[in-house]
């Protein structure tokens, strides 16, 4: 197990679409995502409040689209960050 998914989701499902940014090692991403999916499936049946139950149902019905969107956001933020860095570096080189 890479992280304690069920308690974390109970407390944080309203933040970052319930996605645990940085709570697992990068090389364990696939395992962490499976644990996330399993935790959502467990919570949908055991949720005490309607908000978390509804969130779980929508997450499952969307085929865990939040995971794909998170990958896309990470891809673009890294690309933009690296592009900005490279652009800044080339500007510095041009000045000298």
Q: Which residue segment(s) compose the domain that 23 sits in? A: 5-95
User: What does the pLDDT read at residue 79?
Assistant: 60
User: What does the pLDDT read at residue 60?
Assistant: 93
- Structure tokens of 81? 């960050």
CB 37 within 8 A of CB 64: yes
Q: Tens place of pLDDT for every residue, the chain, 96 residues?
A: 677 888 888 888 888 777 766 656 667 778 888 988 999 999 998 878 898 899 999 999 998 888 887 666 666 666 666 665 555 545 444 443
User: What does the pLDDT read at residue 74?
Assistant: 63
User: What does the pLDDT read at residue 13?
Assistant: 86
Query: How many domains would you assign to the chain?
Result: 1
User: What does the pLDDT read at residue 61?
Assistant: 93
């Amino acid at each position: 197990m890479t992280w304690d998914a069920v308690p974390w989701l109970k407390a944080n499902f309203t933040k970052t679409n319930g996605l645990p940014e940085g709570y697992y090692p990068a090389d364990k991403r696939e395992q962490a995502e499976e644990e996330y999916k399993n935790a959502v499936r467990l919570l949908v049946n055991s949720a005490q409040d309607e908000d978390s139950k509804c969130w779980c149902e929508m997450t499952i019905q969307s085929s865990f689209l939040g995971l794909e969107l998170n990958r896309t956001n990470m891809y673009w933020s890294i690309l933009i960050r690296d592009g900005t860095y490279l652009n800044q570096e080339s500007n510095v080189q041009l000045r000298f």
